[in-house]
Amino acid sequence: MARYGKRKAKKAGLPPGTLVHVGEKKTEKIRIRVLDYTEGTFEEKDITKVEDCYPFKEKSTVTWINVDGIHDVDIIEKIGENYGVHPLLLEDILNTEQRPKIEDFEDYIFLVLKMLAFDEKEHEVKIEQVSFVIGPNYVISFQEKEGDVFDPVRERIRNAKGRIRRMGADYLAYALLDAIVDSYFFILEKIGDKIEGLEEDLIANPDAKTLQTIHYLKREMIFLRRSVWPLREVISGMSRKESALIKESTEIFLRDVYDHTIQVIDTIENFRDMVSGMLDIYLSSLSNRMNEVMKVLTIFAAIFIPLTFVAGIYGMNFAYMPELGWKWGYFGALAVMAGIGITMLVYFKKKHWL
């Protein structure tokens, strides 16, 4: 989901099921990695010819086929054909603007999700689409490019850590889902830091940059919210065990991911409320500062304008102005001015403007 809703349009007009890659164009080669395991055996290899990943469909071992890169339509189409994936779903895999969703077929479950990463350089949340095809004994995952949050899962499979090698493809799917949802917490932490910093700024020294940060955070929050909200339905759709592919023992784990998703959504709502509140506070403190500026101006004007007027009077050149001849006229005038000035100060003091 691009921030300004673009890119999707170029597909309009094509017959449904036409495979077109919608997303940033990339030129690197697609990388296909296979992890194949049972409780006792383990095999990991990179596949160079797409046909090499066909046989796993029939093998009784659990197989995870990870496809990094979806810009080569041919490869995706071949895998899809071999594993019996509906052309409309292949279209969804290729369209990186797809909304997170779940489709439940008889012999596989199809998932689209968003993987989030925080780009430290551009200070922006980067989004990558991940699609899963979950079969009885395989999981195929499609990503936009190399680099993901699945390394801990790979490590656990390699080292037979935890129960993962003893469980089936549904547990593997869960483990991948869990890794994605867990990674959201990193993003939230980053944003939490920003909000905390912003809050301090807001109190200490709010300026136009504060406003920009608030605006940026609001936009990111809108954007995040739209990416994460549908996840709720997706995961609850999986855990409602309508599919024979999800074993009962995996249920409780899915419920756990669901809990985490709710927590992510909760935190996002939380942040939204906080950022909204900050804008109000910012506006208020702007008004406050305007008040202060106005007071300074008013105090100066109200004290010195009358004084200048008095000085102006005795600067007049009338031939007959008795005070001008008085010995103490000058000092008297100064005293009157001082009196006016002090009166004004007392008045403002009383009004709590000083």
Residues 308-347 binding a second copy (CB under 8 A) are 308-309, 311-321, 323-330, 333-334, 337
* CA–CA gap between residue 152 and residue 47 (Å, rounded): 21
Interface with a second copy in residues 216-275 (CB under 8 A): 218-219, 222-223, 226, 252-253, 255-256, 259, 262-263, 266-267, 269-271, 273-274
β-strands 124-134, 42-47 pairing? unpaired
Exposure string over 129-150, b if 16+ CB within 10 A, otherwise e: bbbbbbbebbbbbbbbbeebbb
Nearer to a second copy, 42 or 185 (CB): 185
Q: What 3-state DSSP class applies to 256?
A: helix
Those residues with Cβ within 8 angstroms of residue 139's Cβ, 6 or more apart along the chain or in another chain:
63, 64, 65, 132, 133, 169, 172, 173, 176
Shortest CB 57 distance to a second copy, Å: 22
Complete edge-to-edge strand list for the sheet that includes strand 31-37: 42-47, 31-37, 62-68, 138-143, 124-134, 109-119, 101-104
From the CA atom positions of the chain, what is the Rg in Å?
34
* CA–CA gap between residue 104 and residue 113 (Å, rounded): 15
Q: Which of 122, 130, 179 is nearest to 150 (CA)?
A: 179
* CA–CA gap between residue 127 and residue 3 (Å, rounded): 10
Among 86, 104, 145, 237, binds a second copy (CB under 8 A): 86
Q: How many of the chain's residues bind a second copy (CB under 8 A)?
A: 125
Tell me if 156 contacts a second copy by CB under 8 A: yes
* Span interacting with a second copy, options 14-22, 39-47, 71-79, 237-245, rule CB under 8 A: 14-22
* CA–CA gap between residue 110 and residue 135 (Å, rounded): 9
Interface with a second copy in residues 29-48 (CB under 8 A): none
Q: What 3-state DSSP class applies to 124?
A: strand
Q: What 3-state DSSP class applies to 188?
A: helix
Write the interaction track for a second copy spanning residues 171-210; mark x where CB under 8 A is met and - where it is not.
----x--xx--xx-xx-xx-xxx-xx------x-x--x--
Write the interaction track for a second copy spanning residues 53-82; mark x where CB under 8 A is met and - where it is not.
------------------------------
Among 9, 336, 346, 354, binds a second copy (CB under 8 A): 9
Nearer to a second copy, 222 or 342 (CB): 222
Among 55, 84, 147, 152, binds a second copy (CB under 8 A): 152
Tell me if 128 contacts a second copy by CB under 8 A: no
Shortest CB 30 distance to a second copy, Å: 25
Shortest CB 294 distance to a second copy, Å: 5
Shortest CB 150 distance to a second copy, Å: 10
Nearer to a second copy, 28 or 293 (CB): 293
Tell me if 285 contacts a second copy by CB under 8 A: yes
Write the interaction track for a second copy spanning residues 88-127; mark x where CB under 8 A is met and - where it is not.
x---x----xxx-x-x------------------------
